[in-house]
Amino acid sequence: MNVNQCPTPKKRAYDSRDAAHARAVVSDRKLNPYRCQCGKWHLTMRDTAAPTVQEDALELLAAMTDEQFDNCVTAELHGSATPETAAALRTPDMAPRWGAVLKRRLATMQAELALKKGVDDLATKQWRASMVRRMGFIHGRQIEVNSIMKAALHQAQTSEQQLRTRAANAAKRRLVGAHFAEYREYVTEELARRGLQFDDRTEEVEGLHDQERRARDGRPST
């Protein structure tokens, strides 16, 4: 892409930051002006500088009317959507809206098929075959939507689980730090039961030199 070519020609362009800002302040969304490589100013919902093409495609989709969004879904089904739009549809942000359009479309097609049930002339047979083929493509997209949403849910659950584990570990470290003498006593007892002695190696393994120092210095453990 030419450096001076606008990556987002569909976005409204302003001649100056002031002009863009003047538009931003009357919008009910929070919009920020940014200088584009095309030399003009655009508005973005993002807080930071110019968005990437991918994020921009996401914003464009999010701002679309239902009719415009429908047209994008059709273009994607026909393979004529831009790679950025196709990728933006496949994000957890857009997948639910995409999935809803696909579901409605499939229902419409099923209703059309039902209307012609039992009609068996050649033209109808051909039409039916083409409908079934198109429904297969839509069904494939629905499978994609489901796996995107499932992955997003899994991701959210995983990060919550990680946070919980980290919190528990931090709490254990604080507990050990606050009661180090007691902890050392317990470890010594448990080691003795197993015929071992508390020694530097044990402390090394448990990472307790640090804990002991922190406990002594009265600094909070991290």
Chain residues binding Zn ion by CB under 5 A are 6, 36, 38
How far is residue 36's CA from residue 49's CA, in Å, rounded to a whole number? 9
CB of 53 or CB of 138, closer to Zn ion: 53
**Shortest reach from residue 48's CB to Zn ion, in Å:** 17
In degrees and rounded to multiples of 5, residue 10 shows phi and psi of -80, -15
Is there a contact between 23 and 43 (Cβ–Cβ < 8 Å)? Answer: yes
Is there a contact between 41 and 34 (Cβ–Cβ < 8 Å)? Answer: yes
CB of 41 or CB of 183, closer to Zn ion: 41
The helix/strand count (H/E) of the chain reads as 9, 2
CA-wise closest residue to 39 among 19, 16, 10: 16
CB of 3 or CB of 114, closer to Zn ion: 3
CA-wise closest residue to 91 among 134, 58, 138: 58
**Shortest reach from residue 35's CB to Zn ion, in Å:** 9
**Shortest reach from residue 159's CB to Zn ion, in Å:** 35
**Shortest reach from residue 59's CB to Zn ion, in Å:** 13
CB of 7 or CB of 134, closer to Zn ion: 7
CB of 40 or CB of 90, closer to Zn ion: 40
How far is residue 201's CA from residue 40's CA, in Å, rounded to a whole number? 65
**Shortest reach from residue 221's CB to Zn ion, in Å:** 51
Is there a contact between 5 and 38 (Cβ–Cβ < 8 Å)? Answer: yes
